[in-house]
Structure formats: C-alpha cells, structure tokens
Copies of this chain bind each other. A is one copy, B any other.
Amino acid sequence: MQPAPGESPIVVLVRPQLAENIGTTARAMANGGLFHLRLVAPRDGWPQDRAWRTASGADAILEAAEVFPDVPSALADCHRVFATCPRPRHMIKPLRTARAAAEDTREINGRGLRCAVMFGPERAGLEAEDMAHADTLVRYPLNPAHMSLNLAQAVMIFAYEWWTATEPTPARKLITNGTPVATKGLLEAFLDRLVSELDASGFLEPEKKRANMVRNLRHWFERGEVTEQELRTLHGVVTELSVGRMRRGRPD
C-alpha cells in the first residue's frame, strides 16, 4: 500500500530558516508517504542536529536530503513543478487545490516523470522569481482570515492529500471487533422477547397505544446496527431485569 520512494513527489524547501521545521517537515512527509527532500540554501547550513531532534524517527528522509544552492539547480531534473502559494498575484499560471495537486502529482509520477512541490521560507513564503520556475501553483482552501500556516503544517496537508489520493479506505464503516452484525431475524427474536416481557410487566398498556409504542421502540433498535455480541448482552440485561422484577414481586 505504501508508494515506493521512486513514485512520490520531491518536497523542495526553499531557503528554510529553522532546522526544527526541516525535522517536523520530514516527520509530516513520512506520515503521508513522501520520501524525497531537497533543501535550497538552508539559512543555517546543513546538516543540523536540531532537525533530527524534531523528526520523530523520520531520520531516513533527513539523511537522504539533498542540498542545492538555488531553485533552478534543485529543479533541473524534474519534469513538473508545483509551488505552494497562498495569495497568487501578478501571474498567469494554473492553480490547484491541495487535493487536485495531489491527484495531479500522482498521475504525473504514474507516468514515470519526476515531480517536485516547492514550499517557501517560514516568514515570507516563495518569492515571485521562485514561483516563475513552477508550472502550476497550489493554494489550500483555508480560512482567509487566518491563512498563515506553519511550514510543516503546509507540508502535512499536501502529504496527507497525497496519501489519501490512493488509499482505498472506505469513508465510513462500522468496526465490530470481529463479532458479526446481527441479522434482522436475530434482532426480531430479541424484540419479540422484549415485547413479551413488557407485556407481562404491563408497560405496553393501554392496548390502543401498544402498536405505536412497539413501533417507536423498534425505530431505535433498528437504527443501531447491533452486533450479535451486543444482542447477547441485551438478552442478558432483559433476563436480569425480568428476574429482578419477579423477585421483587411487582410488575414494574
């Protein structure tokens, strides 16, 4: 399920300032299955111990990181380049959401082409000259009143979308810890028993309201996608309560 290293886009950090952010970027990359990191003119040089301290085990990515003096040399062997850009201005360039960019890079990598995604320095982001080297811009849909993303957060969102672009995880499911969901027949048998206990206790009187009361109870039980194990527990609960009622010798 994990994409092979050769099939994931290259993350290019342009003039990153803090080594800690390079480490947290590597961690985010590992979370989302991105393995190739390039650094353009990191402010404090490279390598930096502080990066390893924040990478939370994503050491292999840091150890394989490549350093370049400028943007063109970092991109020279790439076929397609995306640049993250919160507020694109004064340029004519295709723009993608993070999701569409992740889908596009997956398609591009799938054709055997090398693809890079550039992220700018912490304070100011990419400069116009950096962005001119990209063929496509990426803008994340986020709260326009608070667009400022931490560098590793920006990488995390792209990495998450990259992983999500192929993971076959169903959006919704019930985890049942190995016990099967009960059939409607098993649920019916439980409801029959519950209703007969409630009849015995007098809870379902008067008779003219009985059908409605039973139906309303049923709505709740049908909704819950109950498992066989839970039905067994519910049978036990009914037994216990009925025995208690009989022991106390009163019908409620």
Contacts and interface: CB of A to CB of B under 8 A. Distances in A.
Interface in A131-156: 137, 139-150, 152-153, 156
A57 interface: yes
A62 interface: no
Of residues A144, A145, A148, A171, which shows the largest number of chain B Cβ atoms within 10 Å of its Cβ? Answer: A171
Nearest to A146: B30
**Which bracket fits the contact residues of A?**
35 or more
Nearest to A149: B31
Copies in the complex: 2
A164 B141 CA distance: 6
B150 A27 contact: yes
A160 B163 contact: no
A92 B179 contact: yes
Interface stretch (A94-102, A107-115, A200-208, A244-252): A94-102
Interface in A47-71: 56-58
B56 A148 contact: yes
A84 interface: no
Interface of A: 1-2, 24, 27-28, 30-33, 56-58, 88-100, 137, 139-150, 152-153, 156-157, 160, 163-164, 167, 169-177, 179, 227, 229-230
